[in-house]
Amino acid sequence: MFTPFRLLTRTLASHIPRRALTRSFTSHPPALSSASPPSPEGEASPPALETMIAKGEDISFVSADISTLIRDSGWKVLPDGRLHKLFKLQSYGDVLRLHTLIGKESDKRNHHPRMVSGYRMLIVRFKTHKPVGLTANDVTGARVADECAGKCRARWEDADGQSNNVSWKESTVLRRIVVQQKP
């Protein structure tokens, strides 16, 4: 004999799709490099960077700029075609300052990224909606975001996983030296 609670839970469990119970979630989708490596037989290869560029854009120009961003600035291209970067900062106040700086610069250019603020980190993603894909505006926005991040002493990792910014401890020491040298 079933109790009402047991009957209810059995009924609810039968209506949940099995794939929802077995789905695994990751915090960040895998990123693409500018050149997709050949995949082993039987696996689907990720789309090439050239296929993610919006119609009407100069493919060679935009793909070269995106490749430069990937190589030199630590930007990644997600499988859905968005430019993505995670900035790490010293405090939540610095995160909000960077978020505001990028927002003001984006308003000037009328091209706004999707930004997610968290404790000591800011995720910035660019993708043009009309025409769908990556454009020169996305590349410009990414460069502007990097300039704003430099003003806020943000850190990030480049394509090789190496931090390309001065560490927080080193920047604090440098600031103290500069302050002490002022007359």
Instruction: Count CA within 13 A, CB hemisphere, residue 17.
Output: 3
In a domain, 4, yes or no: no
* Percent above pLDDT 70 for the chain: 60
Reading the block at residue 73, the tokens are 């600035």
Say how many C-beta atoms besides its own lie within 10 A of residue 52's C-beta.
22
In a domain, 158, yes or no: yes
Total number of domains in the chain: 1
In a domain, 21, yes or no: no
Q: Which pLDDT score, from 0 to 100, does residue 166 have?
A: 45
In a domain, 116, yes or no: yes
Mean pLDDT of the chain: 74
pLDDT bin (cut points 50, 70, 90) of residue 171 is very low
Q: Which pLDDT score, from 0 to 100, does residue 145 have?
A: 95
Question: Tens digits of per-residue pLDDT, 65-92?
Answer: 999 998 888 999 998 889 999 999 999 9
In a domain, 134, yes or no: yes
pLDDT at 45 over 80: no
Q: Which pLDDT score, from 0 to 100, does residue 49 have?
A: 77
In a domain, 35, yes or no: no
pLDDT at 56 over 60: yes
112 Cβ contact list (under 8 Å, min separation 6): 103, 106
Buried b (16+ CB within 10 A) or exposed e, 130-155: eeebbbbbbbebbebbbebbeebbbb
Q: Which residues pair with 85 in a beta bridge?
A: 124
In a domain, 108, yes or no: yes
φ, ψ for residue 128, nearest 5 deg = -85, 140
- Please give the residue range of the domain that contains residue 143: 49-162
In a domain, 151, yes or no: yes
